[in-house]
Structure 1
């Protein structure tokens, strides 16, 4: 699917600024096209009803970064960038009834509905950009996101502030993104991916353009400090930053994530923050 002049075939890869509208549009188009292949390639790893925080395979059932799942029953939960709803479906399967999920891609949500039918565990989903959430202020007790949406936003502070807006006082935001340290290295799972090629401090977006020069994929880099400032600037209190080590029992390679690299430096960062009471 494409509404881009010039189609979605990649003609050039560049590093340049990209604003919120261009980023959202490019990534919506890209995910509409990539959703089928993504679910076919990674669906068995993610599981129809599973909550993994990243390509390392760190499982919420084991690490409980959201807290004891029984404590979430009766709370209102929003998942950002849900893909096919695997994480939300895991929550629903553990008795968390008030779960909603959004994704920028309509095709990803179609996969969510397909899996709902297959599993019998249904997740209310909607198409939305994480930069502009269609919910009232203080509507949720928990906002969570496993690599969903936030790696693709140009303004980390604005996106985290939007998540904070829909949190009630006392609510929590827990989200994972590509570890900022990875930005220094080529996105290669092998030996080449162990050599620094670019500056950690270069915040220009990674942009793939079509033949007309229009962005068809955009990914943004924010440093660890940028994410911390985004959390604090949104009025939240940072409680934890988890950098998962590569599990010994995971031999899988996922694009640039691999056991080789994952045992030397982190590939994922998980931030946990709380909205103060009062």
Structure 2
């Protein structure tokens, strides 16, 4: 766990939280990607205790309350994001527990408690993937599901020039990097698909499904296309990768 990077990213997220208020929450999994209403990865929500890793402004938790979730729990590094989530969920009719914490750290979550843990475009911020996934495994009930999405590991390594995709960074290269689409010093982590698979398997998770498809309907293109996520690139390689995993029954 790199506390210097965590603190730097906390500062950045406190500064840009308004810019990401309500952006791409569930049922969306990411820009130009199929959503939950199409994929059905979460299954039955009614009566479930759910935990959001990187809950942001709380809109994904709000969506799950509308689907019948029994308890809403969230973790986020940013003070500003937690305050926004508190406001969004202030009238919730079910228990809400929000923690200002890095997902690598344990803010006091109960063991084997949650029916479902998920993370929408947040897990790639972790400075310690193994530790974060281990926490998810520990706090998930046997038989529970863990679903997360993140930018596809190939997307930032490829740029489109003169109608062709150009590899601009080795796929083998992993570690911290400054994301080019940000105008702030935001540090993310480049990881291979195999790194995610091995971390999940090492923690004890069974991977049930991996999704790499793109969705390029007119509505999606109007809503999501910007200087970083473009229709031209998304037509050639996916913007998003989604994993559905399960903690087996004991």
Band of TM-score, shorter chain: 0.7 to 0.9
Question: Which of 23, 32, 35 lines up with 1:56 in the alignment?
Answer: 32
Aligned to 1:227: 196
Residues 24/201 of structure 1: CA separation in 2 closer, same or farther (3 Å cut): same
Alpha-carbon separation, structure 2, partners of 1:229 and 1:217: 26
Cα distance, 1:85 vs. partner?
0.9
Alignment of 1:88-237 (within 5 A): 88-116=61-89, 120-121=91-92, 123-134=96-107, 135-148=109-122, 150-186=123-159, 194-207=165-178, 216-237=185-206
Alpha-carbon separation, structure 1, partners of 2:163 and 2:136: 37
Q: Which residues of structure 1 form unaligned runs of 5+?
A: 1-18, 209-214
Aligned to 1:32: 14
Cα distance, 1:161 vs. partner?
1.3
Cα distance, 1:205 vs. partner?
1.2
SS at match of 1:158: helix
Q: RMSD of the TM alignment (CA)?
A: 2.3
2:33–2:240 contact (8 Å) kept in structure 1: no
Alpha-carbon separation, structure 2, partners of 1:204 and 1:100: 29
Aligned to 1:270: 242
Residues 110/207 of structure 1: CA separation in 2 closer, same or farther (3 Å cut): same
Aligned to 1:23: 5
Task: Report whether the alignment pairs 1:261 with 2:237.
Answer: no
Deviates more, 1:57-66 or 1:240-249: 57-66
Residues 245/233 of structure 1: CA separation in 2 closer, same or farther (3 Å cut): same
| TM-score, normalised relative to structure 1 | 0.79
2:31–2:229 contact (8 Å) kept in structure 1: yes
Give the number of equivalent residue pairs. 240
| TM-score, normalised relative to structure 2 | 0.87
Residues 132/38 of structure 1: CA separation in 2 closer, same or farther (3 Å cut): same
1:78–1:99 contact (8 Å) kept in structure 2: yes
Cα distance, 1:142 vs. partner?
0.7
Deviates more, 1:72-81 or 1:245-254: 245-254
Aligned to 1:211: none
Alpha-carbon separation, structure 2, partners of 1:108 and 1:230: 27
